[in-house]
Amino acid sequence: MPYATTNPVTGQVEASFEDHTAAEVDERLALAASTFEVWRRTSFEERSRYMVTAAELLEGELPVTAELLTREMGKTFAAAKGEVAKCAMTMRYYAEHGHAILSDEVISSPATRSGVRYDPLGPVLAVMPWNFPLWQVVRFAAPALMAGNVGVLKHASNVPQAAMYLESLFRRAGFPEGCFVNLLIPGSRVADVIKDDRIAAVTITGSEVAGRSVASTAGSVLKKCVLELGGSDPFIVAASADLDACVPFAVTGRVQNNGQSCIAAKRFIVVEERADEFIERFSAAMSEVVVGDPMEPATIVGPLVSANQRDEVAGQVADALAKGARATAGGSAIDGPGFYYQPTVLTGVTDEMRAGTEEIFGPVAVVYRVADLDAAIELANSTPWGLGSSVWATDETEQARAIELLDAGMVFVNAMVASTPELPFGGIKHSGYGRELASLGMREFTNPKTFYVA
């Protein structure tokens, strides 16, 4: 698919861009490789100065940049403003803490002096998705650039202007040319870039299919790879849950980003004694969610990213309803030029239905009833994924049990799953491997080099 901005509100193509030719890609990789030799020798203080300038520019350009995100992929303007602000905050975080996170570890041994230092790897290819067009890239780039790597971005084909904006932002902030380069290439050309000797490592955020392809290519050339893939996160309502606190987050957890978030709550697993009340209150709240133009301040849910995505969600729900599931809220697409879908709650879903086994990337919640917390944890763990999980319980024994036994990269208690620069982010099983953010994420693209001075 060629690079184009298609506004999900109108379905109109607003801009399109030619893919880079092989010669242009070669030129950009050469620039990235030569800049790395300069950048790795640049002090943390200097790197920090550019990163803070990038954050300042981003903050100064916040409304215009946020509107661009809304036009390219349909998230609400309010959510887009939040995304831009979070990117600036994260840049500042790594500008301030990056040096300490990567400072040498001194380890006592028979040596006079020994330990570990964290050296950059080189140009890192980042294959990124459209759902958080700025945040997904910045959460990779801020720590990776501060560590002394250079970034090579292959963004999703429907957010070309977000990709070009980021390249321009880093350049205008003072980063040397080649420190962050953007490649406009289709997924089918990613393998060639991974195999290029000038690329040191690769990270991908996206679907399982794309993740398998990237990981197998990286494996074939023995390059480091981080995978941030899909999920079907559980949202467990335990016997001791405070429903007044939990129901609003159940709604936000499912409909955030128009339902298109990897860490959205997707399977609501409720113990029998709280199920009737939860389903009634949750369904009522989902029915009241305002769907509409993402630029309108009252809108909570805008359009899905594309007609294909809306039809995919519609197909998953129609399949469930045809096989005996029940919609206690919503249940169909909304007519119009935009790609809108009603916030929906499904009950009675089984594994014979697509909604029971597939990730739903839209504002559709599946609610399950289970006997008790152990059964909830068993059901939560029964999928191939293991990204985030949210547990609602006021009882500390229930909280501790869920934190210990859930098979997921992240367990949030009495909160919806979210990312923040201080804490590691990532999953297990088919949700991927490796971590982003925090010290674990920052060290992914470093060489933990042992030093020993006799």
What residues are labeled active site? 228, 262
Calpha distance 357→319 (Å, rounded): 12
Contact between residue 392 and residue 274 where contact means Cβ atoms under 8 Å apart: no
Place of tokens 């949210």: 390
Minimum Å gap between C-beta 396 and ligand NAP is: 29
Q: How far apart are CA 359 and CA 407, in angstroms?
A: 17
Is 411 one of the binding residues for ligand NAP (CB under 6 A)? Answer: no
CA angle 127, 131, 133 (to 5 degrees): 65
Applying CB under 6 A, the span of 47-55, 152-160, 334-342, 375-383 interacting with ligand NAP comes to 152-160
Contact between 389 and ligand NAP (CB under 6 A)? no
- The tokens describing 255, both together, are 């409909």
Residue 149 main-chain phi, psi, to 5 deg: -80, 165
| Angle in degrees, CA 195, 197, 201, rounded to 5 | 70
Distance in Å, CB of 432 to ligand NAP, minimum: 6
**Segment contacting ligand NAP by CB under 6 A, of 195-203, 226-234, 244-252, 331-339:** 226-234
138 binds ligand NAP per the rule CB under 6 A? no
131 binds ligand NAP (CB under 6 A): yes
Q: Which residues, 90 to 129, sit near ligand NAP by CB under 6 A?
A: 127-129
Q: Specify the DSSP class assigned to residue 294.
A: T
Q: Which one among 57, 190, 226, 377 touches ligand NAP, defined by CB under 6 A? A: 190
Pairing of strands 233-237, 388-392: parallel
Binding test (CB under 6 A) with ligand NAP, winner from 229, 238, 241, 325: 229
Among 230, 253, 292, 434, the residue binding ligand NAP under the rule CB under 6 A is: 230
If binding is defined by CB under 6 A, does position 2 make contact with ligand NAP?
no
> For ligand NAP, which residue of 186, 219, 315, 324 counts as binding (CB under 6 A)?
186
Site string for ligand NAP, 328-367 (x = CB under 6 A): -------------------------------x-x------
Contact call for residue 72 and ligand NAP (CB under 6 A) = no
Number of H helices, E strands in the chain: 15, 20
Q: Which of 326, 304, 300, 314 has its CA nearest to residue 248?
A: 300
Note whether 233 binds ligand NAP by CB under 6 A.
Answer: no
Q: How many CB atoms lie within 10 A of CB 445?
A: 27
248 closest CA partner among 265, 271, 231:
265
Residues that bind ligand NAP (CB under 6 A): 1, 127-131, 136, 154-157, 186-187, 190, 205-207, 210, 213-214, 228-231, 262, 359, 361, 387, 427, 432
